[in-house]
Amino acid sequence: MSSYAGFLAYRVKMQPEDFCVEEESTLPIQKHGAFAVYELKKSDWNTVDALLQVQKKFHVPLKLFNYGGKKDRHAFTRQLVTVEDSRDLSFDSDHFSFKRIGCSDRPMIPELIRSNRFRLCVRNILERELPSIESAVSRVNAMGFPNYFDDQRFASYHPVAGFAFLSLFRGDPESALRFTLLSPYGGEKTHAKKRKKAIHDLWGQWKECLDLSQTSMERMVFQELKKRLGASKTKVQKDKVYLETMDRLPREELSMGFSALQSWIFNECLARAIRDKNSHRGGVQTVDIKTKTGDLAFPIRANQEVESWKRCQYHLIGPGQPAIAEGSICEQMRSWEDRLLEILEINRDSLEKRYLRSAFLKSHQRPIWCQPELTMENVRKDSLNNGKLCYDVNFSLPRGAYATMAMKALHLRIKEK
């Protein structure tokens, strides 16, 4: 049985330059091509907002922009963006630079990201805990860590309502729309949360909901529901209205709704499969950590079992998910996936349906393990935290892996035996 582990004292992202991310891609860059290639460097901005500024300045349709992934807002990041436009759209602002560096015959896509290179300054370190961190660097370099999705993936998660899209797969599009629109998110202002709560309590009274609406998205939804829903509508007719209205929400938000649920199921199944290995005599020694969406298990001793996991790729739940080879940890993950769907009251057949035009659930492959090569250097006094130390750490991770999860693995508070 796993025991719970806390964390050694540490802080990251105290300032953008503490968290640097450089995308390493295989996009071919040349002198000529249908796609102009740009280097986007930014700090304290997210990728989409930066591109919206370029789009607004040069009046280029946003659909002509392609990139591999959204980089962290609270960081200094570098990535490639392609634009299907022959003009030079180079642009500098206070928070980002967008510089043309060549052309390509193909657009930038996530699959062209080979890895992301990280350089972090880790702060607020207690001097007495420095030996534990140095030991952890050796441990993580030797055995790696589970490739869990981290909290950033679960912005749409609500501690009471859970994941809004669960309702979609249970045949309840009304609740899916309701919680997608009205669930508060981290950092939202108190008055906005109170307004959402008031609208939530009036749900079904569309005029009253419309009167309380303040955002364009809220007004669109309640104007549509007020116009199209009447007492004479059957459940099938109402469900159609809810789905069509939901389809008008921003595509990115809908895609994240599907991805968040899919990613949480992956995390749960991987954590439970790892704990299974811990429950056997002579098995993998693990500890658990608490996160906002559930407990995650981390092995803390390397053995042959852990070594075998480093080669495993798992297809996340969704249409077209292939069969699993017997005897692997992925087979155990699939078994837990079946049990989890039963607990969630979701039929696998419901996962094969396409509910919305603009976004959908899609199975894709993900390594279950990360094996970074961490380099710890430049231990010094922390200029932002009196009496504490800080250090720099460099490493690369595959596309889709989280540096913040690497930091969790590195700063586990483990009782040495």
Q: Are 10 and 129 in contact (CB under 8 A)?
A: no
Is-catalytic flag, 72? yes
Chain Cα centroid distance, residue 81: 20
Residue pLDDT, tens place only, 68-104: 988 888 899 999 999 999 999 999 999 999 999 999 9
pLDDT band at 415 (very low <50, low <70, confident <90, very high): confident
265 shares its domain with 365:
yes
Token digits for 264?
Answer: 């949480």
320 shares its domain with 221:
no
Contacts of 329 (CB under 8 A, 6+ apart): 273, 274, 277, 308, 309, 312, 368
263 shares its domain with 321:
yes
pLDDT at residue 378, as a whole number: 96
Nearest to 121 by CA among 383, 401, 405, 413: 383
In the chain, the percentage of residues whose pLDDT exceeds 70 is 98
Predicted model pTM: 0.91
Among 72, 150, 288, 382, the active-site one is 72
**Residue-range definition of the domain harbouring residue 203:** 165-252
Report the mean per-residue pLDDT for the chain: 92
Total of domains in the chain: 4
Residue pLDDT, tens place only, 164-194: 999 999 999 999 999 999 988 767 789 988 9
pLDDT mean over 5-19: 91
Place of tokens 């393990």: 369
Beta strands at 145-146 and 76-83: parallel, antiparallel or unpaired: unpaired
pLDDT above 80: residue 400: yes
Any domain includes 157: no
Any domain includes 19: no
Any domain includes 59: yes
Residue 112 CB burial class (10 angstroms; 0-12, 13-18, ≥19): buried
Which range among 148-157, 236-245, 281-290 shows the weakest confidence by mean pLDDT? 281-290
220 shares its domain with 289:
no
Instruction: Determine phi and psi for 365, rounding to 5 degrees.
Output: -90, 140
pLDDT band at 403 (very low <50, low <70, confident <90, very high): very high
Nearest to 346 by CA among 146, 192, 169: 169
Any domain includes 219: yes
Instruction: Determine phi and psi for 389, rounding to 5 degrees.
Output: -110, 165
Q: Are 108 and 68 in contact (CB under 8 A)?
A: yes
pLDDT at residue 225, as a whole number: 95
How far apart CA 42 and CA 97 sit, in angstroms, is 6
pLDDT mean over 126-139: 95
244 shares its domain with 136:
no
365 shares its domain with 309:
yes
Token digits for 189?
Answer: 């202002």
DSSP-derived 3-state class of residue 128:
helix
How far apart CA 44 and CA 176 sit, in angstroms, is 32
